[in-house]
Structure 1
Amino acid sequence: MENVKPGDKLLIHAYKHNGNLYRSWDSGVVLESNSEGLVVINKDVLITEISGRKWKTNEPAIWFFFKESWYNIICMFKETGINYYCNLSSPYIVESNTIKYIDYDLDIKVFNDGSFKILDLKEFNRNRINFNYSRTIVETVWEHIDKLKEIIKEKKGLFDHRYVEQIWNNFIKNNFS
């Protein structure tokens, strides 16, 4: 992995299990790089789908990538409060100024009130057959779904709005835009 430091601007690439790139973000600003992972800020970012469709993010967000966990978490600052989008994925790597991970289809959307919903189960079941996910990958994804559900219910760490707001205020204070 490359040496990543606060203020660095990196591309973000999500791949499918077969190695094909399916979505990219044109930039993320690194707020923090530590032994557990990366904290990246997204603000007015252009997203490109493999289909060629392009769109921009609607709200600022903090994106947490982990070196050991099979998920990444996006904290989105919406008018209604902070919502979270948890992507079940491989741990990330950084290559050629790009954060890269394999997306394993399942997602958990967490609403401002702490309620949540598991998304894309049909896509996961279809892709685990089409891409021949190993039993270990399937079990690891479900194990991390269970871990996320537990953390979400406790409203601790990344799912504590005050903690996320503190990180956002740190970004504003350091003015990495």
Structure 2
Amino acid sequence: MKSKTGDLVFVHAYKHNGKLYRSWEKVSIFEETENYIILINEEVLITEVTGRKWKTNEPAIWFFFKEDWYNIICMFKERGINYYCNLASPYIFEEGTVKYIDYDLDFKVFNDFSYKILDLKEFNRNRITWNYSRDIIEKVWKSVDEIKEKIKTKQKPFVHEYVNDIWNKYLELKNKD
């Protein structure tokens, strides 16, 4: 059964060893195609593997891809849209849950499109601990290059107007209910 706009789903992030390490509850589906799914986060409850629970601070749009080794969160901050990119396996969607494996490296992209790459030590530690295959390591580094290029050339979703358009369409749909 295909999901529809407004359906609420879970998101589960796993580590390479197969263990769930973070989950998000009641994330809303905005759009699903054969190639991607777009989710909306508004005051979503997040549970860490440690048991710590917290809610998202700001609304966000989350892009997951069937082929790409990353997902991208577009966060609406006071000073504009920031992006957070998780280097991760392509997602699968089963039993009302979007699932992916997190491969540690992250991009924090600021409103002016400057960025920082985060968690390099964690990636290097985990790739040894969990014996990431050469194929996975190559896909992660190829994805780092793809994300840098998308940021530099302002390809979707790194386009503020595009992200704002999705948000405005979401608000229109939400206000119809």
Q: TM-score scaled by structure 1?
A: 0.97
Kindly state the Cα deviation for residue 115 of structure 1 after the two structures are TM-superposed: 0.1
Report what 1:72 is aligned to. Answer: 71
> For structure 2, which runs of at least 5 residues remain unmatched after alignment?
none
How is 1:95-106 mapped onto 2 (pairs within 5 angstroms)? 95-106=94-105
Q: Provide the secondary structure at the position in 2 that maps to 1:114.
A: coil
Residue 38 of structure 2 aligns with an amino acid whose one-letter code is V
Kindly state the Cα deviation for residue 151 of structure 1 after the two structures are TM-superposed: 0.4
Kindly state the Cα deviation for residue 4 of structure 1 after the two structures are TM-superposed: 2.0
TM-superposition CA deviations, 1:141-163 (whole Å, max 9, x none): 00001000000011221111000
Residue 75 of structure 1 aligns with an amino acid whose one-letter code is C
Report what 2:25 is aligned to. Answer: 26
Residue 71 of structure 2 aligns with an amino acid whose one-letter code is N
Report what 1:113 is aligned to. Answer: 112
Kindly state the Cα deviation for residue 27 of structure 1 after the two structures are TM-superposed: 1.7
Q: TM-score scaled by structure 2?
A: 0.97
TM-superposition CA deviations, 1:108-144 (whole Å, max 9, x none): 0100011001000000000001111000100000000
TM-superposition CA deviations, 1:92-118 (whole Å, max 9, x none): 011111100000000001000110010
Report what 1:17 is aligned to. Answer: 16
- Runs of 4+ in structure 1 off by over 6 angstroms are none
Whole-Å separation in 1 of the counterparts to 2:3 and 2:66: 13
Identity of aligned residues (%): 64
Q: Provide the secondary structure at the position in 2 that maps to 1:107.
A: strand
Q: Provide the secondary structure at the position in 2 that maps to 1:31.
A: strand
Whole-Å separation in 2 of the counterparts to 1:134 and 1:156: 29
Residue 22 of structure 2 aligns with an amino acid whose one-letter code is R
Report what 1:157 is aligned to. Answer: 156
1:7 aligns with 2:10: no
Report what 1:128 is aligned to. Answer: 127
Kindly state the Cα deviation for residue 6 of structure 1 after the two structures are TM-superposed: 1.2
Report what 1:90 is aligned to. Answer: 89
Whole-Å separation in 1 of the counterparts to 2:116 and 2:2: 36
Q: Provide the secondary structure at the position in 2 that maps to 1:113.
A: coil
Report what 1:62 is aligned to. Answer: 61
Whole-Å separation in 2 of the counterparts to 1:49 and 1:131: 20
Q: Provide the secondary structure at the position in 2 that maps to 1:168.
A: helix
